[in-house]
Amino acid sequence: MANVNTVTTKKTIPKASAPVAKPVTKHVSSKSNPSEFGIIIIGAGGSGLAAGMYAARLGMTSLILGATQGYDLPVGGVITTTHVVENYPGFTTLTGPELAKHIEDHTRTYKEVTIKEERVSSVSKSGKGFVVKTGKGEYNGKMILFATGTKWKKLPESVKGSKEFENKGVHYCALCDGPLYKNKIVSVIGGSDSAAKDALLLAEHATKVYIIYRGEKIRPEPINLKRIEANKKIEVINSTNIIEVKGEKLVTGVVLDKVYKNSKEMKLDGIFVAIGHIILSELAKPLGVKLNRKGEIMINHMTSETSVPGVFAAGDVTDKVFKQLITGVADGCTAAHSAWEWIAEQG
């Protein structure tokens, strides 16, 4: 068990616009009822786990709920599908699953944190707090934190064959399925940093990797752009879309919307899709939480508060601009701290 501190020197860091809060441990712990928590954190990625850890340091009990089903992300979140992480302080380089495990293990050392792999079906207001229902139980929390993140955006159905060949050559996790494409020809669809990292990973297995991007120029972080440019296996095709996935039992190629090297058809063994993410904010809607046009939860970026009192949000589900594990973890800590202040103000 790690050293679990119950903070008693709260007054050293008052919020400028808020009254100085009282010590709050008695308000947010409920050891007598195992289904009652200070804060219920929905989502078990980096943001949610960091929030649980920080809530514990502030003396709050928390329940972190995150479920895996099919290809939904496991505890640890999206970073578990990243091959190499080089932008997290303290670790020069390590794999995403390794980093996720470090964060999860760290969070689990706090006895105030409960992590359950249960899928949340609803969140509703109940008296001064909230009720969260899952397929396995019902839990009460004085506050809610949405750290639900995102899920992979799939190829649109307008791309003929994209659904038919899913897991038959069309993939969404290069880290998982890339090793099956040793000495094969593959493509990555997308132009983001994630797409570039997928291409670099796949180049370790495949003989050739095409990056097919609809925009004028791919836009990874400069460090990864240099790596892409230096890798002889990788070829970038900009300003191009795929309009059809072709195959028999498995993928055999794609049809492009413009000619490339004298043909619109390209032979491929595998297609790895990295065209962005869908925001998972549906559960927040019934509470009246304000969302932007993209479906992101709008937050006060100083406090991680949403438009609904007692409801906070952190990480990729929010309307923040720069979405990385390093920033999501910070959001989780900020949200936990704001929650601590908020509940103290309620008296």
Partner 1 sequence: MAVKIYTTSTCQWCKKTKAFLKENKVAFTEVDVGANAKAGEEMIEKSGQSGVPVTIANGKIIVGFDEGKLREALGLK
Cα distance between residue 59 and residue 340, in whole Å: 9
**CB of residue 205 to partner 1, shortest distance in Å:** 8
Instruction: Choose, by CB under 8 A, the member of 45, 76, 310, 332 that binds partner 1.
Output: 76
Among 2, 18, 223, 250, binds partner 1 (CB under 8 A): 250
Q: How many whole angstroms separate alpha carbon 302 and alpha carbon 296? A: 17
Question: Which of 250, 254, 275, 251 has the alpha carbon at shortest distance from 265?
Answer: 254
As a whole number of Å, the CA-based R_g of the chain is: 22
Stretch of residues binding partner 1 (CB under 8 A), selected from 11-19, 80-88, 212-220, 321-329: 80-88
- Residues linked to residue 245 through DSSP beta bridges, in sequence order: 254
Binding piece for partner 1, criterion CB under 8 A, among 57-65, 76-84, 136-144, 189-197: 76-84
The least distance separating partner 1 from the CB of residue 60, rounded to whole angstroms, comes to 29
Residue 286 CB, nearest distance to partner 1 (Å)? 25
Cα dist from 302 to 15, 312, 313, whole Å: 10, 12, 12
Of 43, 74, 310, 328, the residue at the interface with partner 1 (CB under 8 A) is 74
Per CB under 8 A, which of residues 133..192 are in contact with partner 1? 166-169, 171, 173, 175-180, 182
- Give the number of residues in contact with partner 1, rule: CB under 8 A: 28
For residues 340 and 337, what is the distance between their CA atoms, to the nearest angstrom? 5
Q: Which of 25, 29, 30, 95 binds partner 1 (CB under 8 A)?
A: 95
Token digits of residue 178: 């890339």
> What residue type is assigned to position 185 of the chain?
I
Query: Among 15, 23, 27, 97, which residue sits at the site for partner 1 (rule: CB under 8 A)?
Result: 97
Least Å distance, CB 81 to partner 1, is 7
Contact pick of 26, 128, 232, 249 for partner 1 (by CB under 8 A): 249
DSSP track, 291-342: B-TTSPBP--TTT-B-SSTTEEE-GGGBS-S---HHHHHHHHHHHHHHHHHH
What's the min distance (Å) between Cβ of 186 and partner 1?
Answer: 11
Spatial neighbors of 321 by CB under 8 A, at least 6 apart, are: none
Task: Count Cβ neighbours within 10 Å for each residue of 135-152 and write b for 16 or more, e otherwise.
Answer: eeeebbbbbbbbbbbbbb
> Closest approach of Cβ 102 to partner 1, in Å?
15
Find the shortest distance in angstroms from Cβ 188 to partner 1: 16
Rounded CA-CA distance 69/117 in Å is 10
Answer for which of 25, 29, 30, 68 binds partner 1 (CB under 8 A) is: 68
Query: Which residues of this chain interact with partner 1, rule CB under 8 A?
Result: 68-71, 73-74, 76, 80-81, 83, 95, 97, 166-169, 171, 173, 175-180, 182, 249-250, 270
